[in-house]
Amino acid sequence: MRIGLCTTDFSAPLPARELFRRISAMGYDAVQLAFASVSECGFRESPHIEIPESVSVSAIDAILKASSEFSLPIGAVNGTWNMAHGDEEVRLEGLKRLGPFLDAVAELGVKIVSLCSGTRSSYSLWSSDNRNIEIYAWNDMAESMKRACEDAEARDITLAIETEASNIIDTPEKARRIMDEVGSDKLKMILDGANLFHKGEAKKENVRPALDLAFRYFGRDIVLAHGKDIREGNGIDFCGTGFGIVDFPYMLEKLREIDYPGDMMLHGIFDEKDMVTCLQYMKSIM
């Protein structure tokens, strides 16, 4: 299992060579790439759409060269936008961008793209909204998901969603429901242990039961694992790997039980001085 780093943990975009050089120097084996992390892409995310309208040939070349030079493969690419936004134009704009975006991903030779199931919030695609439980929100998200899978199937790329307390898919049960409803073998799951909790649930005694539930509902559909952590408390306070309550040895044990073939992408670190510490922790328990 390769240990990678999500490039979104860097506070600002960097030239591709510098981005890959830094991650390689820390000792990581792979990356989960966001095009917004690469300055050659010239892309700045909006609160609702985190995929560019297009990616230039020169940006693709710069990324490929950096990946090759530092022997740092790209395990997945971020392809998130608000699939459940209340404004249909936002949802359709994300779908419009998806095809060309997947073409760029294919040029990188990457087969996994991460998604966000979305929210009714007009503030951010990572913000909760009381309307997320309404059937209209679900239907809009499901329609976006179905159309996204059609684009992915045409390019032989797998789309991966994860549970998020602030999003429509906020439980393992709902993750299973959307995969069954869409019915595409190109819609799979990201396991992020820190994302299995809602407010008031981040307690040590809840960690293993939460992981057990996730594996029960979508264990065999996991194509990517995230090493994000969460601090114990009544809120949702994410932190670097090993600084919180996620039982990573148990999570790794469960992944081995299903013969998980993918990567472990560390995420939620944000402070560069902790990126090596978190990597060392993950290596120590593997």
Using CB atoms within 10 Å of the CB of residue 190, give its burial: 0 to 12 exposed, 13 to 18 middle, 19+ buried.
buried
pLDDT in tens, 200-219: 999 999 999 999 999 999 99
CA–CA distance, 230 with 126 (Å, rounded to integer): 16
CA–CA distance, 168 with 170 (Å, rounded to integer): 6
pLDDT in tens, 267-276: 999 899 999 9
CA–CA distance, 4 with 264 (Å, rounded to integer): 6
pLDDT interval class at 168 (50, 70, 90)? very high
pLDDT interval class at 155 (50, 70, 90)? very high
We report the CATH number of the domain holding residue 119 as 3.20.20.150
First to last CA, the chain: 9
Phi, psi dihedrals of residue 198, rounded to the nearest 5°: -100, 175
* Residue pair 172/214 in contact by the 8 Å Cβ criterion: yes
Interval 237-251 mean pLDDT? 97
| Number of independent structural domains in the chain | 1
CA–CA distance, 188 with 118 (Å, rounded to integer): 16
With a CB cutoff of 8 Å and minimum separation 6, the contacts of 25 are none
CA–CA distance, 224 with 189 (Å, rounded to integer): 7
* Residue pair 244/229 in contact by the 8 Å Cβ criterion: yes
pLDDT of amino acid 270: 87
pLDDT of amino acid 15: 98
pLDDT in tens, 111-152: 999 999 999 999 999 999 999 999 999 999 999 999 999 999
pLDDT of amino acid 85: 98
Got the DSSP string for the chain? --EEEEGGGSSS-B-HHHHHHHHHHHT-SEEEE-GGGBGGG-----SSB-S-S---HHHHHHHHHHHHHTT--EEEEE--B-TT-SSHHHHHHHHHHHHHHHHHHHHTT--EEE-----S-SS-TTS--GGGGSHHHHHHHHHHHHHHHHHHHHHT-EEEE---TTSS--SHHHHHHHHHHH--TTEEEEEEGGGG--TT-B-HHHHHHHHHHHHHHHGGGEEEEE--EE-SBSS--EE-TTSSS--HHHHHHHHHHTT--S-EEE-S---HHHHHHHHHHHHHH-
CA–CA distance, 209 with 250 (Å, rounded to integer): 11
CA–CA distance, 228 with 27 (Å, rounded to integer): 18
234: domain range? 3-285
Task: Evaluate if residue 171 carries a pLDDT over 90.
Answer: yes
Interval 75-82 mean pLDDT? 98
CA–CA distance, 38 with 41 (Å, rounded to integer): 6
CA atoms within a 13 Å half-sphere pointing along the CA-CB vector of 134:
13
pLDDT of amino acid 133: 97
Can you give the length of the chain in residues? Answer: 286
